[in-house]
Structure formats: C-alpha cells, structure tokens
Amino acid sequence: MIPEIGHFALIIGLAIAIIQAVFPMMGVRLNQPQWMALARPVAGAQFLFLGISFACLIYAFLSSDFSVKLVANHSHTQMPTIYKVSSVWGNHEGSLLLWTFILSGWGVAVSIFSRSIPPVMLARVMSVMGMVAIGFLLFLIMTSNPFERLPFPPVEGRTLNPLLQDFGLAVHPPMLYMGYVGFSVAFSFAIAAMLGGKLDAAWARWARPWTNIAWIFLTGGITLGSWWAYYELGWGGWWFWDPVENASLLPWLAGTALVHSLAVTEKRAAFKSWTVLLAILAFSLSLLGTFLVRSGVLTSVHSFAADPERGLFILVFLLIVIGGSLTLYAAKASKLESTGRFELVSREVGLLVNNITLAILTLTVLLGTLYPLIIDALGVGKISVGPPYFNNISLPLGTVLFLMMGVGLFLRWKKDSPERLFKKLLLPANIALIIAIFGPMFFEKAFSWRVSLGLLLASWIALTALMWFAAQGRSLWQKPLSAWGAMFGHVGMAVVITGITLTSMYSTEKDVRLDANSGYEVAGYSFKFTKIEKDLKGKNFSAIRATIEISQKGKPFITLYPEKRNYGPGTMPMTEAGIDGGLFRDLFIALGEPLGKGAWSFRIYHKPFVRWIWLGGILIAFGGLLAAFDGRYRRTRKVFLKEKARRKGTMA
C-alpha cells in the first residue's frame, strides 16, 4: 500500500509541476496577479507531495519490502540501518527521486526567502523551475519508476554494492545533488531575466546568494567524494579523472566562474550576457553530467545501470532545456546591455581573465571526458584518455589562474595604475619566491621544479589573500562577511594546491611481500606484520584482517588493521585500508593477496600533506558560506520589507 501512495504522490507532483510551469508565466503575460501569486503555494505543494513520495520509498527500504523491485535489487535485511537509508539513493531510480525532491526543496526555499523580488520576476523564476521539474518527473514516471512491484517477491534482497556501504557515500550523493540542482536556481533567474529583457544590479544581488549556496554544496560534495575514493577504494588516490568525477568538476568550474562574474554584474553592471551564459552553462553541465552517468555512453567505475532508452530520454530533455535556453540567449543576449566601462588595468579585466581561464579549463576537461566518445562516433575505435592528458592541461591553465588570483584581489574597479599595483604586489611576490626556493629543502628529497611551482602559487595566493584582507580597513569583526568569504576561499585554494603538490611529488608507495613477523621500513616508520585473522564476521560481511605494528625509531607508535571484506557471492572483495591520519602525513596500508606460506602482499603508502586537499576544500566551502550571508543581501530584504510596510501604512 505504502509504495502505491508514493507512486501516486509522484504523479500528483507532476500535475502540480505543470501548474507551476504554466500559470505564473501565463499570469505575467496576461497581467493576472492572482495567477502569478500562485507560484508560492504551488511550490509548497510540490515540495509536500515529493516529500511524501520520498518518505514512502525510504519506508519501503527500512521495512525491507522486497515486493518493491528497487528494494529487492539494492537492499538486504542484514544491512545496517544507515545503509538501508542510503541505498535509497545508491541506485538510478532512487537517486533521481532524490534529485527531484531536492529541486522542489530549492523551489520552496526561493519562494520563502525571496520576498524582496518583484512578483513578475518571481513568477517567471518559479515557472522555469516548474518546467525543469516536469522533465525530471516525466523521466521518473515513464522510464524509471522507483515503486515498481515484483510479482514474486524474493525472500532476501540482493544487497547494496559494498563499495557504497560507507558513511562517506551515504552523504556524498545528496550533497552533490544539492549543488547540481542548486544551479537550477541561477539558471531560472537567468532565463527569467532574458524573458523580461532586464538585468540590473538588483538581479545580480538576488541571484548571488543562491548561486553561492549551490556552489558550496558542490564544493563539499566533490571534497567528500575525493576523501571517500581515498580511503575506500584502497588505491590511495584522491582523484582519478574518471568521467563521473569530471561530471561533478565541470559544473564546479563553470560555477566558480559564475560566482566571480556575478560580482562584476552586481558591482559594475558589466559582463551581463556572459553571466547569463555562465548560469546556463553551469546548470547545463549538471544535466550533462546526469546524462553521462545515467545513459552508459561512457563507461566508468561509478556507472550504475546503463540503459539506452533512458539515455535517449535524457538527451531529448537536454535538447529542450539547453537548446531552448541557448536559443533564447541567442535572441535576447544583445538586449542585455552592459553599461559599465573599464580600462585595461582594472578589476573587471582581472575577473575577465579568471573567467576565460576557467571557461577554457571547463572546455578542455569536457573535451577529454568526451574524447573516447568522439573517437568512437567517428568509427576510429574505442579508447580511454588517461590522467596524463588532464594533468598536462591543468598545470599551465591552473598556473595562469592561480597567478591571477593574487593580482585580482588588489585590482581596483574601473581603472587602476600599474605602478600602484606593482608596489602592492612586490612584497607577497618576494616572500612567495623565497618560500618556493627554500621550501623544498625541508623535505629530504630530490629537488623538483614542480614542487617549487606549487609552493610558489600556493604561498602567493595565501599571502595576497591575507594582505588584502588585512587592508580592508576597520577592525577584524567589522569587516564585511563577503571579505571574510573571499579570504577563506582563496586561502582554501592555497591549502588545496599545497596538498596536491606535496602529495603528488613526495609520496612513497611500496608494494611489498611480508612474511609473518617480518617488517619493512618506509619514510622512517617501520611496519611489522604480526598476525593475520581469517573469517572475522561483520554484520553483513566476513573479513580477513592483518595486524600491523608500526614503530618509529624503535618506539611503538600505532597498530593498524587493514582488512579485506567479502560481501558474499557475486561481489568484488573490498579493501578496507588501515590509515593513520595526521595533518602533515598519512600512513596508509592495504592488504593485498595471499602469497602462500603465511606471506601476504601489502601496499604501504606514506602520503605527506594529503589531508590538506580536503581541508582546503572545507575552507573554500566555508568561505562561500560566509559570502552568501553577507549583510547586503539581507539589507536589500529589510529595506524592501520596510518599504512595503510603509506603503501598507499609507494605504490604510
């Protein structure tokens, strides 16, 4: 009964989405305020019914209702509760339902927190969001019904892919989706602005916090995904340039460009059509990511069910949404006149360089991701583009971008003098150079220009951000939140760069054969293999566990227990690495294969500064959060509400 209620709620959701898409927009056209006013309550109703539908699916998983096909295929009675819940989105149908539910959540949030937006604008925004929801709901109902029943329910479910039975993966997809779907708000604002033919500073001020919040979630989601890959996949890597990872990086790059370009549109009324294009691009890339993951066009370690019929549906949907909005853009963009003028040396140009570099980076990553498909479509064969391609392109482009990050903060709007700029930048440039030259000496390793370059860029970004922040006048606590945000964002990036550089260049990775009670030394730590235990029982797996005693200079330091877990027939054995984390280095040991006579193969890693990659990601997201809550966004709302109250007063 409950699954049927969920299914029914989904269909009602579709009906509501159609109302949301049609009436407010028609109301604007026919000048019917009541129709426009429908936007708000309808968004609430949409959220309610999709919420019911989602709750029904969660209930089906929690109660292990194997008459529902989805539950039978992805759950198991013996799974811990948290993974029963997370299996809801550990599969195609459920994750789409989550996606749509989150979309309705964003819709409700916009309708609640955007009281300062003129009703015409809000009506258009809500209508566009309604249209996106129609697409996803049709997709769900027509090709991927999560509530499909089985005529002969099995006694036991098929369990969730063991790789996904992990806390990181329970949180990672919702986080990422919040980001993907969040860009639909900026997208809807952009479409609404083009329909109205007006895009001013007020528009940018409405769109900015929403874009920021979506971007924060995406940053968090990517960071979390990278951390998960590191400790769960057992390869000790943190980024693989896998198509699915790229699918999340692409909207992030476009979104980063958008966050910065919105600043120019708000403050200087310039870059208008570019900002609109970026808003379309960020959301389009989110949709494209969904297409790539769901259609099976590209093979990836992450692919769930690949199904060409679904692929065709998403492709048609992409054509309508992206093709439609780009046609609108082609027709209307020239009306969005940019009035702000600026000179060659100005903050506008600095941000332009930032935007162009990010756009090129986005396109090259997109090209690399689709390259196997291009080659295939041309009939030349099937290939995989390896990480070397991506590493080669991101190094020079990243260098340009990161150098500009330091200059950009100090540039003045409109016109700046090169001499003034040069004087300001001399100090951080010199300190960064000194760090780049002498920094590598602290590590007793061979000199590499890559380390110097990485340290140069990281210290340059961090120093310029801190100096700029200090020069913002006023005392620490009176600085605007947006200044705090920019500082954290930039310093976070510096931390990420430091982590990537030092981990990539200075990691030690050893594959060793260890006999019982023998040892091996890596980077001053000696690893001793003392014991192996077989057939340990977990809740829904059996494990082989090794005991490794680690000592430093003869003193016992820590004991790690790397495991290999078996989740039953038909599943790959999972590597559960033993990790001792630290701010400056990680010790990572993974259990390999038995080599006979009590000997086992092990992989031992010493990874300096690897945590900085994720720490930086957290800092960046935190910076975005601070900026989104800057006083001026609330101020516009307060001024508006006061105005409204005053008008009401005079009317009475």
Partner 1 sequence: MKKTHLIPLFIFILLALLLYRGLSLNSRNIPSPFIGKPAPAFDLPRLYQKDQRISAKSMKGQVWIMNVFASWCQSCRAEHLVLSNFIRHYKVPTVGLNYKDYGVKDYGNDVINWLAQLGNPYIAIAIDTEGRTGIDYGVYGVPESFVIDKKGIIRYKFTGPIDQKAVTETLVPLILKLRQEPA
The residues of the shown chain that bind partner 1, judged by CB under 8 A, are 234-235, 242-243, 273, 277, 280-281, 284, 291, 295, 297, 299-301, 303, 308, 311-312, 315, 318-319, 322-323, 326-327, 329-331, 333-334, 370, 372-377, 380-384, 386-388, 511, 570, 572-573, 575, 592-593, 601, 603
How far CA 287 is from CA of 7, 128, 215, in Å, comes to: 24, 15, 15
CB of 176 vs partner 1, minimal distance in Å: 20
Pair of tokens at residue 630: 């800057």
Rounded Cα distance, 407 and 413, in Å: 13
Rounded Cα distance, 574 and 571, in Å: 9
Q: Which is nearer to partner 1, 392 or 430 (CB)?
A: 392
Rounded Cα distance, 466 and 8, in Å: 55
CB of 381 vs partner 1, minimal distance in Å: 3
Per-residue burial over 56-81, b if 16 or more Cβ lie within 10 Å, else e, is: bbbebbeebbbebbbbbbbbbeebee
CB of 319 vs partner 1, minimal distance in Å: 6
Q: Which is nearer to partner 1, 470 or 572 (CB)?
A: 572
Q: Which is nearer to partner 1, 377 or 652 (CB)?
A: 377
CB of 235 vs partner 1, minimal distance in Å: 7
Rounded Cα distance, 12 and 21, in Å: 14
Q: Which is nearer to partner 1, 382 or 537 (CB)?
A: 382
Give the rounded distance of the alpha carbon of 118 from its chain centre: 31
Alpha helices in 439-596 (DSSP H): 449-470, 481-506
Q: 3-state class of 232 per DSSP?
A: helix
Rounded Cα distance, 88 and 65, in Å: 13
Whose structure tokens read 């790397």? 562
CB of 633 vs partner 1, minimal distance in Å: 29
Rounded Cα distance, 137 and 15, in Å: 10
- What sign does the CA torsion over 225, 226, 230, 236 have? positive
Q: Which is nearer to partner 1, 511 or 515 (CB)?
A: 511
Q: In the chain, how long is the greatest CA-to-CA distance?
A: 93
Alpha helices in 296-346 (DSSP H): 308-318, 324-332
CB of 302 vs partner 1, minimal distance in Å: 10
Q: Which is nearer to partner 1, 347 or 603 (CB)?
A: 603
CB of 297 vs partner 1, minimal distance in Å: 4
Q: Which is nearer to partner 1, 178 or 591 (CB)?
A: 591
On whether the CB atoms of residues 36 and 119 are closer than 8 A, the answer is: yes
CB of 360 vs partner 1, minimal distance in Å: 14
Pair of tokens at residue 224: 């979390």
Q: Burial, 534: exposed, middle or buried (Cβ in 10 Å; 0-12, 13-18, 19+)?
A: exposed
- What sign does the CA torsion over 447, 451, 452, 455 have? negative
Rounded Cα distance, 275 and 95, in Å: 30
Q: Which is nearer to partner 1, 19 or 333 (CB)?
A: 333
Q: Which is nearer to partner 1, 60 or 604 (CB)?
A: 604
CB of 299 vs partner 1, minimal distance in Å: 4
Backbone φ and ψ of 556, nearest 5°: -60, 140
CB of 296 vs partner 1, minimal distance in Å: 9
CB of 277 vs partner 1, minimal distance in Å: 6
Q: Which is nearer to partner 1, 4 or 511 (CB)?
A: 511
Number of C-alpha atoms within 13 angstroms, CB side, residue 483?
A: 16
Q: Which is nearer to partner 1, 200 or 242 (CB)?
A: 242
CB of 523 vs partner 1, minimal distance in Å: 19
CB of 328 vs partner 1, minimal distance in Å: 10
Listed in sequence order, the residues at least 6 apart from 183 whose beta carbon sits closer than 8 Å to its beta carbon are 211, 214, 218, 251, 255, 279, 282, 283, 286
Q: Which is nearer to partner 1, 604 or 627 (CB)?
A: 604
H/E stretch holding 595 reads: strand 585-596
Rounded Cα distance, 559 and 203, in Å: 57
Q: Which is nearer to partner 1, 381 or 524 (CB)?
A: 381
Rounded Cα distance, 535 and 31, in Å: 72
